[in-house]
Every structure is written in structure tokens, then in C-alpha cells.
Structure 1
Amino acid sequence: MRLLPAYVGGFLVIMDATIVAVALPSTGAALGIDAAALPWVVNSYTLPFAGFLLLGGRLADVLGPRAALLAGLLTFAAATTAGGLAGSAPMLFAARAAQGIGGAVLLPATLAVIATVHPAGPARTRALAAWSAVGAVGATAGTVLGGVLTEWAGWRWVLLVAVPPALAAAAMTVRTVPAHRPGASRPRLDLTGAALVTAGLTAVVLALTMSAVSTLMAGLLLLAGFVARQRRAPDPLLPPSTWRLPGVARGNVVMFTVGLAFFATPVLLALHLQRDSGWSALAAGLAFVPVALALVAGGRLAAWTTVRWGPRRAAATGLAVAAAGYVGLALDAGGYATSVGGPGVLVGLGIGAAFTPITVVATAAVPQAAAGLAGGVLTTTRQLSAAVGLAGLSAVVLAAGEQAAMVVACACCATAAVLAFLLPRTGSPPDQAGPSAPGTASPDS
């Protein structure tokens, strides 16, 4: 029960990035949004979400996981209500932006809460398995629920459906999540670094969304300034030594590589089923139910494989299974069962089984006092990979078709499987000395 608010929060944040996709035509018709501006229903959420993730993660360390989780849930619920009741396009875009900021505080806090309740060991692995499965299901369930709600209740309920569970999770947070007890070295917030990284990440994701080279260069320059700032700041937002902790850099590289393939897949397949196969929004949404169930099964399996096999073998095996699924999607042979359903189940099972060991590796060596930061780094990696993957695979679809995009996705997943063999053999326990003292941590094996 103590972790249920974290699971609910993670599910809602990930789901909301995809749930509006199938409702875009209805939303545009209701609010008078033309085709050129319609993607901003999605972009106005994902841009601030990506930009504020690292800052949100650090806030979980400064304020404490429970306070950050509660603030994120309440902000998310209020903004979602405003979006569902919006009477114009500007109101909807503003509400979606506020949702993204709330989600950027909320998602890293969910990982920090897990680290607080389960500092290390098999219990944390099981908790992370549940968290990974819930997040992966949220990405797919958004498409399913979006189709059902758009067809039966209207586009506003695509947003409003998240309000009751967010408020219920906030109430449970107060009652069940342990309070933060900051130590003597409670971190301070590097406001200059926060401004640089938030603006830089937002610009990079915006550039990838709009194919704007000048904006991309500006974003990269801001991120370079952030890196320089972290080297000399007395209390850096992201201490450079964090990357030298066992598994942090390698885990994030593997997560980024697999994210290039996976996070864009539900969106591309939903559009393919509606545009090319003539499916309704409801039918396209329901087509992902088997994938969602496979993600849950993979997540449950990961709790066992990660402990018994170690993160390296568990991640590589799951990613190999997912790559096999992408082969089926690329072949696009026969009807739904052989072209989407069956291959999609393999992708879901493999990804669900791989996310947990990758998350374990990327966060295990980070001390509890910096658990929010570790969550912010990992979720930023996931969001950037989603933006890059969607932009890249969409370009492939336009140039060469859906099958070619699935071939590229398969290559990304297979590459991630190979990279997984570079992960540490076991998840390292947290080093309470913190990221500023990497010399006390053991090297990657």
C-alpha cells in the first residue's frame, strides 16, 4: 500500500503522453484547432515535461519524496481538470503545459519513494519491476483508453478520466508514504543550472518535434552551458561524479537506445491502423490490449529474472525477444494476429522484461539522498529517446513506409540487446557517501 500512490502517479504521467493521440480529430473539431496546430495538443504537454524532469528529480531530494509526490499529483490533477474543461485552444494548451510540469515533478518522485521504502535488495527489484510494468502499460493503455473514451464519452473525458485517481493517490500519499527526514547535508537547488538544463532540454525536444535546426543548436548550446556550470557549481544540480557510479551511464545508454524504438511504436501503429487499414479510434485502441497485457506479464517475469539471472542477462534476453517482435511488425504479413497482435505481444513481453533490470542498474548505486536525481536522469533519458524516436521513425514512415520504420526500430532494439551485455552483472547497493564521493563505489564489472 505504501507504494500504490507512486505506481498510480507513474501510470498517469506516462498514459497522458499518449491518451490524447486518438482524440486529436475530435478535439480539433470541438475547439476549432486547425490541422497545423493540432499536434500542439501533444507537444504542449511533452515539451515542459521533458524540460523540467531533471529539476523535478532534484526537487524530490530537496523537498523530500513524499512532498514532491504530493505536489506533483495535485498539480497534475488541477491542470488535468482545467484541460478537460477548456473552452478554447489557448486554454487547453496552457493546461497541458501545466500538466507536463506537474508530471515532471511527479515521475521522478515515484522512483524516489521506492528508494525510500526499499533502500536495496530483492524487495526494491520487485518494486521496480512493478513500476516499470506500470509505466510501460501506461504508454500502451493511453492509446486503448483514448480510443474507448473518445468513441463513448467524448474527447474531454480523455483528460478528465485521470483526475479521480490522481486525487485518490494524493490522499493515500499523506497517509501511507513515509515522511522525509533530511540529513545535515540537505542539498540546495542550483537555480542557474536548473534554468540552463530546463531551457536546453525544452529547446532540444521542440527542435526534434518541429525539425528546427537553429532551435536544436540553441538547445545544445544551453546544455553545454549546463555541463560547464555543473563542473564549478558549489551545489550542482547534477554532480558530474554521478555518471561514474556503477551502472548509471551504461544503464541510461541502454534505456535511450531501446526507447528510440519502443515509445514511438504505439503512436505509429495506431495511426497506421486508422489511416491505412480504416480502423475506428475504438478499434485501434482495443488492438493494443494484448500488448498491454504482455507488458504486465513481462514486468512480473522481470522481478524473477533480474534476481536469478542478474540485470545484464535479464535485460539482454528481454530485448532480444522484443527485437524478434519488431521483425514480425516489419514483415506485416497477413491479418491483425500475425502482423500486429502476435508481434506486438512479443515486443510487449520483451520490453516489460527488460525495463526492470535496466532501471535497477541505472539507480542501484545512487545513494538514497539522491534517489530523486537518479529518477530525474532516467526519466529524462526516456523522454528524450521518445522524442528522438518519434521524430526519426515518423520521418522514415514518410520516406519509406511503416515497414521500413519497424526495421529501424528492430535495429535499435537489437543494438540495445548487445549493449545490455556491457551492464554490470549485478545491481550495486547504494553508497551512502553520495554522488560527490564516487571513489567509494566499486567500478562496473
Structure 2
Amino acid sequence: MRGERLVVVLACVCVFAVILDATIVAVALPGIRGELGFGEAGIGWVVTGYTLVFAGFQLLGGRCADVYGLRRVLYAGLVVFGVGSVLAGLAPNAWLLLAARAVQGLGGALLVPTALACITTVVPDGARRASALATWSMVGAVGAASGTVLGGVLTQAAGWRWVFLINVPIVVLAAALVRPALPPHGDGTRRPLDLPGALLVTAGLTLVVYAISGSGTALTSWLPGAAGVLLLSAFLGWEHRGREPMLPLRLFRVRTVSAANLTMFAIGLAFFATPILLSLYLQGVLGYSPLQAGLAFAPSSVLTLAGGRLAGRVTPRWGLRRASVAGSLIAAAGFGLLAVLTETAAPYVLGVGIPVAVVGFGIGLAFTPITVAATRGVEPGYAGIAAGLLNTTRQTSGAAGVAVLTAISTAAGDHGAHGYAVAFAVTFGCAAAAALLAALLLPGTSAAVAPPVAANR
């Protein structure tokens, strides 16, 4: 039990650092744009560039964990992520910052699926694993929700560079935990890595999200989008024919895996874009300072923690379906309040505080059963890949959500309140769709275990 707890702590520290880094930069974007000279469209790539590399290489990160063992890959991920954080904090211009963010994303892609695989490998299935995954999911959601709070404090007190440099002590802490928590070599299988597959999916995702973001003209947006679709199609073909694919396509035949990833994509479209949207709205429309905008998210952080703690207790009793549906519907209610109240003159507590608190509680409750489902029914040798697939889904939905919803807010209201209200109405629809998908596709009991996936394809 003590060893399991140490593994959970290590996994939580890793996921907190990586997910925090995706949202902590939101409040600092105006300062970064002013100092480094980003354009109106280009500033979004400080977030999207990190997210895309993170998403595209997670499958490779998960396979690395299966091949080389958990301990080696965690050390490698911490080094890469830490170096990227230092480079981002010291970046003298826009292009070097974007390159450093890509390095951070690569480090995160090694860390997160490996951290999740640590839990699913060490903690036995059942109530103990559900509790461990509840803690892991809760910490990740808290990292996403609290990033804006911490980002506002750091930006106001020390400058935007510290939103990146703050990762260094977290990386040092995680590195100190690896040796006592994990055996020297793990259970690596020494299978070959699928580097072509990783390059195809990363390039494809990058081009597709670039097209969605509308950063260029109609021609310069649609051409990359078409190329991205072709690359993703080539990726699927490569995986189908490969002897050692990065993503065994038979994984999708496991009902819980496919259903959980669909549900996560839908709710991720809404949740992971919300800190960016709300930060831009509070600072650009309501005139909040970076510190005020960051602190505005505090209720979400607290209630996400509460929702995650509740999820650890109720998921084994309610089952995966009911817990996921309940959390998604509560989150949808919060998004609906944001959509309705954004254009009103409501005070902070009513217009922002209560809605983001409701969203946070629902997300904290929903993420645990979705994570349990996404990692169930897969044999240990593919635990890293299953974890990588879930986190690829999360981060891809986040990147697409930021691109689509910021484009919607601009088109509907030219950065005014109406545009953000329309964007939040879309987030409501995404969370409601997640609840519907969970109700239709997820199993009704947390005890249902699908047959293990043993074949490569």
C-alpha cells in the first residue's frame, strides 16, 4: 500500500506540472504579446503549439513506457520538460518561445501517459485503482483550473517568464520521487518504436488545427487542412499494416476504450478552451488585471478538487455510466450559465464565480470514470498506449477547442461580450454531447472488464 501511494504521488506531481503548463500561460498572453511582438492570430500558438506537440507525441510516449520501462521514460520526460521550461522562460523572441514550447510539449508527451501507466500497472483493478485514478484525474483537472490563478499571481508579481520557470522546482521534486517509487527497469518489452507513425500523426494534427484556427486566408487555411487529413489517413494506413504499430487499431474494439475517448473528446472541447476564453474575456472586455483574471478561476479550482474527491467514492458504487453522465451534465449547466450571463452586467459572484465553480465540480466528477473506462480491458503490455491514447484525445480536443472557440468568439462579436457568449453556448453543447455519449456508450457498471487486447493490430 505504501508503494502504491508513492506511485500515485509521483504520477500526480507529473500530471500537475504538465497540465498546469497548458493553462498557466493564459493570463500571461497579453504580456507575452506586448514584449515579444506576437500578432493577434499568432499569440494563440503559444498555447496551441505546446498542445499539439503534446498530443501528437503522446502515443509515442506511451509506447516508450511499454518498451523501455516506466522509470527510464519518466526520467527522460522530466529532463526534456525541464529544459523546455527554462528555454521558454529565457526566450528573447517569439520564434524561440514557440520552439521552447514545442520542447515542453515533447517532455509532457513522455510524462503523462507514463505517469498514468504507473498507476494502471502498479495498482490492482477495483476500488483501489478507482480511488488512485480519481486522485490522478482530480489533480490533472485542478492543474488545468488553477493554472490561470497561479499564472495571474506570477505575471502580476514577477512577470510572464515565471509562468514557465515555475516548472523547474516541480520537475526537481518529481525526479526525486522516481527512484524510490519505481523499480530500475520496469517491465519494458524492447519492441521497436513506431517513429514514422508519430511523425505522421503529429504533422497531421498540426496542419488540421492550423486550418481550423483560420490563421491565414481561405486558401492558406484549407490547403494545410487537406494535407493534414491526408497525413492522418496515411497514419491510420501505416498503423494497420505495421508489424509493431504505435496505436494498435484493435484497441478501439474494446468498448470502454472507444467510448471513453469519444466522451473525453466532447467534454475536452469545452473544458480545456474555457480558461483561455474566460481570461481573454475578463481582461479584454471587463478590464481585469492579470491577477484579477487569475483569481477569478479560484472557485473552479476548489470545486474541481471537491468533484474529484467525490468521484473516487461514487464511481465504484454508481458505475462508469452514471458517474460520467452526472459530471458532464453538471459541467454543461455551468457552461450554460456562462453563456447566459456573459452579456449581462451581473456581478462577479453571479456572472463568473458560480458558473466556473459549477463547471469545475462537474469536470472533477466526470474525469475519473472516463479515465477508468479508457484504461480498462487492456493488458499490461499496452497500458502505456491506452494511457497515451486517452491523453492524445484530451489534448487534441483542447487544441481544437481553443482554435474553434476563439475563432467563433471573434467572428460572432469581434472580441466583444456577444462573441464570448456564443462561444460559451458552444461549450454547453459540447458538454451536453459528452453526457449523451456517456449515457449511450459507457457500461453501466464499474466492474465490467472487457477482454484484454493482446494483438498488435
> 2:208 pairs with 196, 204, 229, which one?
204
1:283, CA displacement in angstroms? 0.3
5 Å-filtered alignment, 1:14-413, equals 14-35=19-40, 37-182=42-187, 186-211=190-215, 212-332=221-341, 333=344, 334-400=346-412, 401-413=419-431
1:40-84 C-alpha deviation (Å, 9 max, x unpaired): 333332232222122112111111122212211111111111221
Equivalent residues of 1:50, 1:202 under 8 A apart: no
Change (3 A) 1:115 1:180: farther
Contact 1:119 1:368 in 2 (8 A): no
Alpha-carbon contact 2:85-2:101 (below 8 Å) kept: yes
* Per-residue deviation, 1:338: 1.1
Secondary structure (helix, strand or coil) at the match of 2:398 reads: helix
Give me the CA root mean square deviation.
Answer: 2.0
What amino acid maps onto 2:92 in structure 1? Answer: G
Cα distance in 2, alignment partners of residues 208 and 435 from structure 1: 36
Q: Distance in 1 between matches of 2:230 and 2:157?
A: 47
Query: 2:163 is aligned with what amino acid?
Result: V
| Larger mean Cα displacement after TM superposition, 83-92 or 257-266 | 83-92
Q: What is the CA-CA distance between 1:34 and the residue it aligns to? A: 4.9
**CA distance in 2: counterparts of 1:26 and 1:42, whole angstroms:** 14
Aligned in 2, Cα 1:181/1:19: closer, same or farther, shift over 3 Å? Answer: closer
Q: Retained in 2: the 8 A contact 1:20–1:146?
A: yes
Q: Which residue of 1 aligns with 2:433?
A: 415
Deviation at 1:281, TM superposition (A): 0.6
Following the alignment from structure 1 to structure 2, what is the Cα–Cα distance between the partners of residues 372 and 379? 11
Q: Which string of whole-angstrom CA distances, capped at 9 and with x for unpartnered residues, describes residues 407-438 of structure 1?
A: 22111111211111120123467778534189
* Partner Cα separation in structure 1 for residue 296 and residue 393 of structure 2: 28
**2:236 aligned counterpart, secondary structure:** helix
Moved more, 393-402 or 297-306: 393-402
Of 321-330 and 246-255, more deviation after overlay is shown by 321-330
Structure 1 residues 428 and 64, CA, compared in 2 at 3 Å: closer, same or farther? farther
Deviations 1:1-21 (A, max 9, x none): 222221111111111112122
User: Is the CA contact 1:312–1:426 (under 8 Å) kept in the aligned structure 2?
Assistant: yes
CA distance in 1, matches of 2:426, 2:448: 36
Q: TM-score, normalised by structure 2?
A: 0.91
After superposing the two structures, state which structure 1 stretch, 324-333 or 130-139, moved more: 324-333
The 3 A distance-change label for structure 1 pair 172 and 346 is: same
CA distance 1:204–1:233, change in 2 (3 Å):
same
Question: Which residue of the partner structure matches residue 3 of structure 2?
Answer: none
Aligned length: 437
Give the secondary structure class of the aligned counterpart of 1:277: coil
CA 1:189 to 1:303, structure 2 compared with 1: closer, same or farther past 3 Å? same
Aligned to 1:443: none
Does residue 430 of structure 2 align to residue 426 of structure 1?
no
Q: Which amino acid aligns with 2:210?
A: L
* Equivalent pair of 1:17/1:139 in contact (CA under 8 Å): yes
Q: CA deviation at 1:358?
A: 0.6
Unaligned runs of 5+ in 2: 1-5, 216-220, 413-418
> Share of identical aligned residues, percent?
51
Q: What is the CA–CA distance in structure 2 between the aligned matches of 1:106 and 1:429, rounded to whole Å? A: 28
CA distance in 2, matches of 1:227, 1:176: 36
TM-score, reference length from structure 1? 0.93
The structural deviation recorded for 1:177 is 2.3
Partner Cα distance (1:375, 1:139) in 2: 18
Matched with 2:218 is none
Distance 1:363 1:91, change over 3 A: same
Partner Cα distance (1:208, 1:174) in 2:
43
Code of the aligned partner of 1:376? G
Structure 1 residue runs of 5 or longer lacking an equivalent are 439-445
Distance in 2 (CA, whole Å) between partners of 1:353 and 1:99 is 28
Q: Is contact 2:331–2:359 with CA below 8 Å preserved after alignment?
A: yes
SS in 1 for 2:375: helix
Contact 1:111 1:375 in 2 (8 A): yes
Cα distance, 1:301 vs. partner?
Answer: 0.5
- Report the equivalent of 2:415: none
Q: Which moved more, 1:329-338 or 1:42-51?
A: 42-51
Q: How far has the Cα of 1:39 moved from its partner? A: 3.1
* Aligned residues of 2:328 and 2:362 also touching (Cα < 8 A): yes
